[in-house]
Amino acid sequence: MNKLNDTDFGTPERVSDTQITLEIDGMTVTVPAGTSVMRASTIAGVNVPKLCATDSLEAFGSCRVCLVEIEGRKGYPASCTTPVENGMKVKTQTSKLADIRRGMMELYISDHPLDCLTCPTNGNCELQDVAGIVGLREVRYGYKGKNHLELKKDESNPYFTYDASKCIVCNRCVRACEETQGTFALTIDGRGFDSRVAAGQNDSFMESDCVSCGACVQACPTATLTEKTVIMMGQAEHSAITTCAYCGVGCSFKAEMKGNEVVRMVPYKDGKANHGHSCVKGRFAWGYATHKDRMLKPMIRKKITDPWQEVSWEEAIGYAASEFRRIQAKYGKDSIGGITSSRCTNEETYLVQKLVRAAFGNNNVDTCARVCHSPTGYGLKQTLGESAGTQTFDSVMHADVIMVIGANPVAAHPVFASQMKRRLRQGAKLIVVDPRTTEMVKGAHYEADYHLKLKPGTNVAVISAMAHVIVTEGLVKEDFVKERCDMQSFSEWTAFVSRPENSPEAMEAVTGIPADTLRAAARMYATGGNAAIYYGLGVTEHAQGSTMVMGIANLAMATGNVGREGVGVNPLRGQNNVQGSCDMGSFPHELPGYRHISDSTARAEFEARWNVTLNPEPGLRIPNMFDAALDGSFMGLYCQGEDIVQSDPDTQHVASALSAMECIVVQDIFLNETAKYAHVFLPGSSFLEKDGTFTNAERRISRVTKVMPAKAGYSDWEVTQLLANALGYPMQYKHPSEIMDEIAALTPTFHGVSFKKIEQLGSVQWPCNENAPEGTPIMHIDQFVRGKGRFIITQYVPTDEKVTKRFPLILTTGRILSQYNVGAQTRRTENVRWHSADRLEIHPHDAAERGIRQDDWVGIESRSGQTVLRATITENVQPGVVYTTFHFPESGANVITTDNSDWATNCPEYKVTAVQVMPVTQHSEWQREYERFNKQQLELAKVD
Ligand code: SF4
Ligand code: SF4
Ligand code: SF4
Ligand code: FES
């Protein structure tokens, strides 16, 4: 266990109204009932030696080095497994105990290689520490025990090794895999001196069910399970707390450093979103930050067929500014715009939208949330009054019924999934609404009570049918609704959902879900106790994405499942800072804090502070920017940290729009797909190279800490500032904390936020202001943010994207654990060992009908385009549905997706595309053109 972590109390914290007072080595200590003697001792400042205990795991009681004497009790009980009792008198240090502990350690050491000086965890090994603490001076059994040096190391995992010769069989890894991660990949195999840890059925770690979360490595007290970076680099010498730059869980980490180099990332025990746990991405997949593909020099070119020229920062910024002004002079003020990034910090995102509104003089700013959770913003604002999730992640531990809709947290939000699985193992019920059989449906020691395997595109029909059951069977929480909701909207809604056409029976043909299953699931949600809904892009990325979000909110309000622990409506945000980028005013119609640009009071506050006049008209959304580019009225774009060519739908349309523009400025750490259409390239900085904050899916604002200098010379916020100044709009921030101070001053929900506050509290959930100085974990407690909760009618409208004879299958898309979004980061790490290419999942019936065999190349064609992937034949998808991920640019998943989008927000309908699939022998025409263009662009940038 790593020494740089805070105190290890040996056993987990207990919460109880009953307090117990006892005496330990003459000191009085009072602790909650259920606390172990070991933990109470640590609280009293007395450290009892331990090997098999650690405070992230339940006590196991196997190593016997933590024995104590308790007055009036026979023998020597293990302090880790003995709960405190009132009046107990404990002695932790007696000569008898010292003898026993030394004896135990002699046994351990007689069976352990004595190579401390060359051991990778020398100086950070609990076995070594305990040997020192107990005063081990000799080993009477000799050192020639069965030291197992002949055992081969398992080095199959790219990130850690398993050296069985050093294993003391403390079981911590096995328990970490079970309790912390919930994967159950490890067991203890063999007996006595021969017992060792085994992954799977004695497979290598890579062949087993292990998902490389690293919880076992963190829990191991010896060098048995060790990070390969530690083996290579030795122990770290300093550390800093920061936040993961991957998904919306927002795990907190200790970046353990040697000079400016990361030795390892250790999930931070006090991190409120992750409590010391992480997934393979955050813990291990950070090598991209120093990858050779990093672009570290600013570059410019006149045309995208010209070679890139490396220039100074000054020249690149000057060129970008002069081009933007030239374009505005020629095509008008509104002919340029910017795209903010959900991977950048709040401060950076805020600056980009400020640059657009204040320096460009228009509201043409948008963000990638357009293509993921914009319907969440719209739908929750309409119904509840605030466009963010209602809970903390910890709230799931109070849920009795968990309904997961259109999300696969096991792959996309893994640390939260581990917590959810823990709750499921404790007995909470599970309803999964998903067209695929994902890992969420069934896993180690849990299984969904109901899996509503709907046809893609029929979410709204499902939610209305569930509402029908709840209303017509009298399951509405009348008191809650009467007190908290708008009754007019409620009665209109009940009248609507009660109609026979919304019944599960009537909807069965549409949704494909048997009516009695849907009825049973609806009853379980309404009557099973605290019911919480978690949803993802399978809800939002539809033509009726916003309608579905409102349908979810309706259901939660009608059943009284909002405003306390264990319930709520919880969007699982995809990227690390997608919540923050929305909060920071990245949408064309909203200033920071979701205030409409047409609101003259809000505008006046920003105008006074920014010293400009703001345009009251909303600007262009991303798809409108593309259309305007093709019309010849939108000619310049500043794109920070987003890869719209890969991530936005209908790639060929996006590429044509970008090709039509006269100046595209891309700021990124790699020459991404969008940069291949750019005229100015500004090197970006990774999360390790800047200060700032990220906001996770719980509205939790956490610090991002600069642990190494910006590799290209500037952090991203500094580059935006340089560009603003070059455009003649002064920005003079010396540190991101000053940007946050400005955000706080201008945003009512952030009035109380500052770097100082975040550092004091560890993190803070907005709203954080005069009314909630320490933030707001649970929202809508006494009343909804909008006053009365508003029900909205959710009429199911089938999507225009229909299956036809020509396109008889529905393609839906999703993510995989080891890769992240467009893959720009994870593809440049060893994570490719788990997923090196996107594949098409197809049901055996559909495959047989087409003569497709496992691993065959298959062509996938929609009305937008065609691409080719290898086939995976699986019953995880239902007949009529095919599925792929979108992590590799050459896959061209978005060549297939169409320009259909959500009616309210333009969020693309990624989850429903009518396609045909057929066996093929070569790449598609688009792929061949991509390969040519890609090669040409890499040559123009002189990148291998
Ligand atoms: S890395 Fe995680 S999943 Fe793999 S064995 Fe260890 S704890 Fe289990
Ligand atoms: S591998 Fe480490 S944690 Fe697991 S039993 Fe061996 S010593 Fe304990
Ligand atoms: S990717 Fe998500 S779950 Fe994994 S460590 Fe990062 S924030 Fe945590
Ligand atoms: S620490 Fe208590 S028995 Fe191992």
Whether the pLDDT of residue 194 is over 80: the answer is no
Whether the pLDDT of residue 6 is over 60: the answer is yes
pLDDT > 90: percent of the chain: 76
Ligand 4, residue 79: give the atom nearest the CA.
Answer: 2
Pocket of ligand 1 (CB under 6 A): 176-177, 181, 183, 185-186, 210-216
Cα 225 to averaged position of ligand 2 atoms, centre (Å): 7
Confidence class for position 146, pLDDT limits 50, 70, 90: low
Q: Which of 62, 129, 179, 225 to mutate to test the pocket of ligand 2 (most atoms within 8 A of CB)?
A: 225
Least confident of 293-307, 436-450, 879-893: 879-893
Cα 66 to averaged position of ligand 4 atoms, centre (Å): 5
Residue 49 contacts residue 66 (beta carbons within 8 Å): yes
Residue 50 contacts residue 130 (beta carbons within 8 Å): yes
Confidence class for position 542, pLDDT limits 50, 70, 90: confident
Whether the pLDDT of residue 223 is over 50: the answer is yes
Ligand 3, residue 250: give the atom nearest the CA.
Answer: 7
Q: Which of 48, 56, 80 to mutate to test the pocket of ligand 4 (most atoms within 8 A of CB)?
A: 80
Ligand 4, residue 61: give the atom nearest the CA.
Answer: 3
Q: Which of 1, 36, 47, 60 to mutate to test the pocket of ligand 4 (most atoms within 8 A of CB)?
A: 60
Nearest CA to ligand 1 atom 4: 210
Provide the pLDDT for residue 427: 96
Ligand nearest to the CA of 78: 4
Residue identified by tokens 């560890």 is 762
Whether the pLDDT of residue 265 is over 80: the answer is yes
Confidence class for position 107, pLDDT limits 50, 70, 90: confident
pLDDT digits (tens, 9 = 90+) for 915-938: 999 999 988 888 899 999 999 999
Provide the pLDDT for residue 148: 67
- Mean pLDDT in residue range 688-703: 96
DSSP-assigned beta bridge partners for residue 240: 255
CA-CA distance, 844 to 854, in Å (whole number)? Answer: 9
Nearest CA to ligand 2 atom 8: 170
Closest CA to 41 of 62, 26, 52: 26
Nearest CA to ligand 2 atom 2: 220
Q: Beta-carbon neighbour count of residue 102 at 10 Å?
A: 18
Nearest CA to ligand 1 atom 8: 177
- Mean pLDDT in residue range 866-873: 94
Nearest CA to ligand 2 atom 6: 167
Cα 172 to averaged position of ligand 2 atoms, centre (Å): 6
Cα 251 to averaged position of ligand 3 atoms, centre (Å): 5
Ligand 4, residue 50: give the atom nearest the CA.
Answer: 1
Ligand nearest to the CA of 177: 1
Cα 246 to averaged position of ligand 3 atoms, centre (Å): 6
pLDDT digits (tens, 9 = 90+) for 73-85: 999 999 999 999 9
Cα 89 to averaged position of ligand 3 atoms, centre (Å): 44
Provide the pLDDT for residue 3: 40
Residue 362 contacts residue 589 (beta carbons within 8 Å): no
pLDDT digits (tens, 9 = 90+) for 290-318: 989 899 999 999 999 999 999 999 999 99
Cα 184 to averaged position of ligand 2 atoms, centre (Å): 15
CA-CA distance, 500 to 507, in Å (whole number)? Answer: 9
Whether the pLDDT of residue 906 is over 90: the answer is no
Provide the pLDDT for residue 702: 97
Confidence class for position 199, pLDDT limits 50, 70, 90: very high
Torsion angle defined by CA atoms of residues 857, 862, 863 and 864, in that order, rounded to the nearest 10 degrees: -80
Q: Tell me what the pLDDT averaged over the chain comes to.
A: 92
Closest CA to 725 of 300, 313, 332, 311: 313
Least confident of 9-18, 377-386, 560-569: 377-386
Residue 466 contacts residue 497 (beta carbons within 8 Å): no
Provide the pLDDT for residue 357: 97
Q: 394: which DSSP letter?
A: G
Whether the pLDDT of residue 14 is over 90: the answer is yes
Whether the pLDDT of residue 559 is over 90: the answer is yes
Half-sphere exposure of 791 (CA within 13 A, CB side): 27
336 vs 887, more confident: 336
Distance of CA 851 to the CA centre of its chain: 38
Cα 235 to averaged position of ligand 1 atoms, centre (Å): 22
Provide the pLDDT for residue 803: 86
CA-CA distance, 830 to 843, in Å (whole number)? Answer: 30
Ligand nearest to the CA of 126: 2
Closest CA to 594 of 484, 819, 746, 456: 746
Confidence class for position 944, pLDDT limits 50, 70, 90: low
Confidence class for position 527, pLDDT limits 50, 70, 90: very high
Provide the pLDDT for residue 4: 41
Cα 575 to averaged position of ligand 3 atoms, centre (Å): 10
- Backbone φ and ψ for 581, nearest 5 degrees, come out as -65, -35
Provide the pLDDT for residue 279: 96
Pocket of ligand 2 (CB under 6 A): 167-173, 197, 219-222, 224-225
Provide the pLDDT for residue 819: 79
Residue 806 burial class via C-beta count within 10 angstroms: exposed 0-12, middle 13-18, buried 19 and up? exposed
Ligand nearest to the CA of 205: 1
Q: Which of 127, 167, 187 to mutate to test the pocket of ligand 2 (most atoms within 8 A of CB)?
A: 167
Nearest CA to ligand 1 atom 6: 216
Long-range own/partner contacts, residues 283-286 (CB < 8 A, 24 or more apart): 283/159, 283/213, 283/214, 283/253, 284/158, 284/159, 284/212, 284/214, 284/227, 284/829, 284/830, 284/831, 285/246, 285/818, 285/820, 285/825, 285/826, 285/829, 285/830, 285/831, 286/262, 286/688, 286/829
CA-CA distance, 205 to 160, in Å (whole number)? Answer: 10
Q: Which of 54, 179, 186, 202 to mutate to test the pocket of ligand 1 (most atoms within 8 A of CB)?
A: 186
Instruction: Write out the H or E segment, with its range, that includes residue 160.
Output: strand 160-162
Whether the pLDDT of residue 330 is over 90: the answer is yes
Nearest CA to ligand 1 atom 2: 213
Nearest CA to ligand 3 atom 6: 282
Ligand 3, residue 282: give the atom nearest the CA.
Answer: 5
CA-CA distance, 854 to 871, in Å (whole number)? Answer: 6
Cα 430 to averaged position of ligand 3 atoms, centre (Å): 23
Cα 646 to averaged position of ligand 3 atoms, centre (Å): 22
Whether the pLDDT of residue 761 is over 70: the answer is yes
Provide the pLDDT for residue 716: 96
For 442-455, the three-class secondary structure string (H helix, E strand, C coil) is EECCEECCEEECCC
Q: How many residues does the chain have?
A: 944
pLDDT > 70: percent of the chain: 98
Provide the pLDDT for residue 686: 95
Whether the pLDDT of residue 731 is over 70: the answer is yes
Provide the pLDDT for residue 143: 59
Residues 6+ apart with CB under 8 A from 354: 610, 724, 731
Cα 423 to averaged position of ligand 2 atoms, centre (Å): 26
893 vs 812, more confident: 812
Nearest CA to ligand 1 atom 7: 177
Provide the pLDDT for residue 943: 64
Provide the pLDDT for residue 144: 61
